[in-house]
Amino acid sequence: MRALVVDDSRAMRRIVARILTGIGYDVEAGDGQQALDVLARGPKPHLACIDWNMPVMDGLSLVVRVRENPQWRDITLMMVTTESEHSQIVRALAAGAHEYLIKPFTSDSLREKLDLLGLVPAPTGEVAS
Ligand SMILES: [Mg+2]
Protein backbone atom coordinates (compact mmCIF):
# COMPACT_ATOMS: atom_id res chain seq x y z
CA MET A 1 0.00 0.00 0.00
CA ARG A 2 1.08 3.52 -0.70
CA ALA A 3 0.85 6.58 1.53
CA LEU A 4 1.44 10.25 0.91
CA VAL A 5 2.59 12.32 3.88
CA VAL A 6 1.86 16.02 3.54
CA ASP A 7 3.40 18.47 5.99
CA ASP A 8 5.45 21.64 5.65
CA SER A 9 7.74 20.41 8.43
CA ARG A 10 10.42 18.02 7.16
CA ALA A 11 10.86 16.67 10.68
CA MET A 12 7.16 15.87 10.96
CA ARG A 13 7.15 14.30 7.49
CA ARG A 14 10.01 12.08 8.59
CA ILE A 15 8.23 11.05 11.81
CA VAL A 16 4.96 10.14 10.08
CA ALA A 17 6.79 8.48 7.19
CA ARG A 18 8.80 6.32 9.59
CA ILE A 19 5.68 5.11 11.38
CA LEU A 20 3.91 4.32 8.10
CA THR A 21 6.95 2.57 6.68
CA GLY A 22 7.07 0.47 9.86
CA ILE A 23 3.45 -0.52 9.28
CA GLY A 24 4.32 -1.58 5.75
CA TYR A 25 3.58 1.40 3.55
CA ASP A 26 5.58 2.75 0.66
CA VAL A 27 5.72 6.44 1.51
CA GLU A 28 6.12 9.61 -0.49
CA ALA A 29 6.16 12.97 1.27
CA GLY A 30 5.99 16.64 0.52
CA ASP A 31 4.28 19.92 1.32
CA GLY A 32 0.82 20.89 0.10
CA GLN A 33 1.86 21.98 -3.38
CA GLN A 34 4.23 19.04 -3.84
CA ALA A 35 1.41 16.72 -2.82
CA LEU A 36 -0.65 17.82 -5.80
CA ASP A 37 2.33 17.15 -8.07
CA VAL A 38 2.78 13.68 -6.59
CA LEU A 39 -0.92 12.94 -7.02
CA ALA A 40 -0.90 14.17 -10.61
CA ARG A 41 2.14 12.04 -11.41
CA GLY A 42 0.97 8.90 -9.61
CA PRO A 43 0.95 6.11 -8.66
CA LYS A 44 -2.07 6.98 -6.60
CA PRO A 45 -1.70 6.52 -2.82
CA HIS A 46 -4.28 4.61 -0.79
CA LEU A 47 -3.84 7.04 2.08
CA ALA A 48 -2.83 10.67 2.49
CA CYS A 49 -1.93 12.10 5.91
CA ILE A 50 -2.39 15.84 5.67
CA ASP A 51 -1.18 18.63 7.94
CA TRP A 52 -3.52 21.62 8.22
CA ASN A 53 -1.17 24.58 8.69
CA MET A 54 1.12 24.87 5.70
CA PRO A 55 2.23 27.86 3.66
CA VAL A 56 1.39 28.00 -0.08
CA MET A 57 -1.38 25.41 0.16
CA ASP A 58 -2.94 24.55 3.49
CA GLY A 59 -4.32 21.13 4.32
CA LEU A 60 -7.98 22.04 4.13
CA SER A 61 -7.52 23.47 0.62
CA LEU A 62 -5.68 20.30 -0.34
CA VAL A 63 -8.55 18.14 0.94
CA VAL A 64 -10.98 20.22 -1.13
CA ARG A 65 -8.77 19.93 -4.24
CA VAL A 66 -8.43 16.17 -3.87
CA ARG A 67 -12.17 15.73 -3.36
CA GLU A 68 -12.89 17.80 -6.51
CA ASN A 69 -11.15 15.20 -8.64
CA PRO A 70 -13.21 12.02 -9.20
CA GLN A 71 -10.03 10.07 -9.98
CA TRP A 72 -8.88 10.65 -6.41
CA ARG A 73 -12.19 9.77 -4.76
CA ASP A 74 -10.92 6.50 -3.32
CA ILE A 75 -7.91 8.01 -1.55
CA THR A 76 -8.42 7.98 2.22
CA LEU A 77 -7.61 11.39 3.68
CA MET A 78 -6.53 11.82 7.28
CA MET A 79 -5.88 15.22 8.78
CA VAL A 80 -2.86 15.15 11.11
CA THR A 81 -2.79 18.50 12.82
CA THR A 82 -2.54 20.61 15.96
CA GLU A 83 -5.94 22.12 15.08
CA SER A 84 -8.03 20.54 17.82
CA GLU A 85 -11.14 22.79 17.86
CA HIS A 86 -14.31 20.84 17.32
CA SER A 87 -15.39 23.29 14.62
CA GLN A 88 -12.14 22.70 12.72
CA ILE A 89 -12.59 18.93 12.90
CA VAL A 90 -16.13 19.31 11.57
CA ARG A 91 -14.88 21.53 8.72
CA ALA A 92 -12.24 19.01 7.69
CA LEU A 93 -14.66 16.08 7.78
CA ALA A 94 -17.26 18.10 5.85
CA ALA A 95 -14.62 18.89 3.22
CA GLY A 96 -14.00 15.17 2.73
CA ALA A 97 -11.42 14.04 5.26
CA HIS A 98 -12.16 10.56 6.67
CA GLU A 99 -10.22 10.75 9.88
CA TYR A 100 -8.62 13.28 12.15
CA LEU A 101 -5.50 12.80 14.26
CA ILE A 102 -4.40 15.53 16.62
CA LYS A 103 -0.71 16.33 17.12
CA PRO A 104 1.14 15.35 19.17
CA PHE A 105 0.23 11.71 18.63
CA THR A 106 1.82 8.33 19.26
CA SER A 107 2.59 5.70 16.65
CA ASP A 108 -0.04 3.54 18.37
CA SER A 109 -2.75 6.17 17.96
CA LEU A 110 -1.91 6.53 14.25
CA ARG A 111 -1.96 2.79 13.82
CA GLU A 112 -5.29 2.60 15.66
CA LYS A 113 -6.86 5.12 13.27
CA LEU A 114 -5.58 3.17 10.29
CA ASP A 115 -6.93 -0.02 11.80
CA LEU A 116 -10.39 1.56 12.09
CA LEU A 117 -10.15 2.55 8.44
CA GLY A 118 -9.09 -0.97 7.45
CA LEU A 119 -5.81 0.44 6.23
CA VAL A 120 -3.21 -1.61 8.06
CA PRO A 121 -1.50 -3.61 5.32
CA ALA A 122 -0.95 -7.35 5.66
CA PRO A 123 2.57 -8.19 6.86
CA THR A 124 5.08 -8.74 4.05
CA GLY A 125 4.99 -12.28 2.81
CA GLU A 126 1.26 -12.68 3.22
CA VAL A 127 -0.71 -12.75 0.03
CA ALA A 128 -3.22 -9.91 -0.18
CA SER A 129 -6.30 -10.78 -2.17
MG1 LIG B 1 2.40 22.68 9.49
Q: How far, in Å, from the CA of 30 to the mean position of ligand 1?
A: 11
Q: Is residue 123 part of a domain?
A: no
Q: Is residue 91 part of a domain?
A: yes
Q: How far, in Å, from the CA of 53 to the mean position of ligand 1?
A: 4
CATH of the domain at 29: 3.40.50.2300
pLDDT per residue as tens, the chain (129 positions): 999 999 999 999 999 999 999 999 999 999 999 999 999 999 999 999 999 999 999 999 999 999 999 999 999 999 999 999 999 999 999 999 999 999 999 999 999 999 999 999 877 665 555
Q: What is the pLDDT of residue 123?
A: 73
Edge to edge, what strands does the sheet with 99-102 contain?
Answer: 26-30, 2-6, 47-50, 76-81, 99-102
Q: Is residue 129 part of a domain?
A: no
Owning domain of residue 80: 2-116
* DSSP conformational letter for 90: H
Q: How far, in Å, from the CA of 55 to the mean position of ligand 1?
A: 8
Q: Is residue 52 part of a domain?
A: yes
